[in-house]
Structure 1
């Protein structure tokens, strides 16, 4: 009897209608577009201030080479993406707004799918565009300062003094150019668990979800470090899997990809079931 009753409910949870999904996306955009604009605006202001501080320091332009731009990009992405993801279901923190969100005419699958599209796909793209709005002017200023510093150097200057002023080190950082496809995939798979964990915390914890999610992430990090120390594991081999996996053992060639793909998948599935628990029956 239970299986027969559960089948219609399961089908209702997994239903997908493109027209209804499009309306859900339009309603979400109309409600949160100002909040998203403020989020990216504050992020761009922080980056502008950071760049101005770097350029105002003596020889600060040496920190805005290709590697420096890449460091700013990935640090900003890995810091802001979980925050953005944790705020996606912020309406769940209040009972009144949670009721409005759950009563929208859309299935749980459609709401979950929209969250994945906005968080895992659209956010990195928009973040990249916002990053270049700040990065391109900073790169142009740094490159001009490098040319000015090179012009002031004597012709017989030793190579050590021109090491940080090589023109090849001050090219514009391009996200997809320095790394091949496997490395790009590795960076995205590394980011996905942070985003999914933030979403899961915002859905699982009913009160103070942001603080509790941070505490949970801290304890998970401590447990990971503790287990790594006990079993004397080699994290460098795991995190370097996408760079060079020719020297790995056979079991590592199977286990490492399973973890890379399995952890984000399990976390996003956990988000689906956590969202299902909030459904109004």
Structure 2
């Protein structure tokens, strides 16, 4: 049993993280290996399926990175919370000597920080060598076309590029890299909602979570159909437009961009506190 007067203690939190990693590192590593193999095979097939391989452009690399981050992020959420779906393992997890806050922080760190970092390493290992080979083949083909003069003006090669999340500017229109934080905003909400649903629903959690999302989407469509300009929530992303500073616009943006992530993660904490046995 934990001392409820101390909501957070570093020794308990670090012990919880060490025990979880020692018990489940094989499962975590297995998912990362699957992510690595899937990306390597799929990218190699896409780039080298024809006789004129070309490397991915930065915009395509950005879309690739975040698409697979969402896919394997959801898979990791299910893997991380898998013990909560079985009675014996859920009791063991809920009775571990750590406070509700420490268990919640551990889940948040694993889902929002550590997994994206590990996935980024897998993404770079999977895509950089294959893109380099495609760029080399493209450069060789371009030099051969120039030498043979088979075409008056051969198309310029795409060249070799490495997309680094939040560091590379993948937008051809010159948008700032910080705008990529919107993707992480979606990922933050996705992980928070998964943590909430997989802890709250003890049976058929996946189906109930999807059903709840469907209901929420219907409600959002109904609210937006009543009027109002939804563009006020995203127009600040375009640096060419001046953001609206009206009170209603500021409040709406605060509720969306800050309130929604706080809501889903607070809901996850409340669901965990409801079931916690320490």
Q: TM-score range by the shorter chain?
A: 0.7 to 0.9
Report the CA distance shift for 1:259/1:59 in structure 2 as closer, same or farther (over 3 A): farther
Q: Is the 8 A contact 2:66 2:183 kept in 1?
A: no
Report the CA distance shift for 1:129/1:47 in structure 2 as closer, same or farther (over 3 A): same
Q: TM-score, normalised by structure 1?
A: 0.84
Structure 2 unaligned segments of length 5 or more: list them.
170-175
Q: Is the 8 A contact 1:54 1:63 kept in 2?
A: no
Q: Is the 8 A contact 2:233 2:253 kept in 1?
A: yes
Q: TM-score, normalised by structure 2?
A: 0.85
- The equivalent position to 1:244 in structure 2, one of 233, 236, 239, is 239
Taking the TM superposition and a 5 Å limit, the aligned residue runs for 1:48-67 are 48-58=40-50, 61-62=53-54, 64-67=56-59
**SS of equivalent residue, structure 2 residue 97:** coil
Shift, 1:207, TM fit = 0.1
2:172 alignment partner in structure 1? none
2:155 alignment partner in structure 1? 162
1:203 alignment partner in structure 2? 199
Shift, 1:45, TM fit = 1.4
Report the CA distance shift for 1:87/1:213 in structure 2 as closer, same or farther (over 3 A): farther
Higher helix share: 1
Taking the TM superposition and a 5 Å limit, the aligned residue runs for 1:1-281 are 12=4, 15-58=7-50, 61-62=53-54, 64-154=56-146, 155=149, 157=151, 162=155, 165-167=157-159, 170-179=160-169, 180=176, 182-231=178-227, 233-235=229-231, 238-239=233-234, 241-244=236-239, 246-251=241-246, 252-280=249-277
Shift, 1:29, TM fit = 0.4
1:144-190 per-residue CA deviation (whole Å, 9 max, x = no partner) reads 1210231233458455x515x243xx312222333446324333222
What do you get for the CA RMSD once the two structures are aligned? 2.6
Partners of 1:63 and 1:238 in 2: CA distance: 35
Q: Is the 8 A contact 1:186 1:242 kept in 2?
A: no
Report the CA distance shift for 1:220/1:152 in structure 2 as closer, same or farther (over 3 A): farther
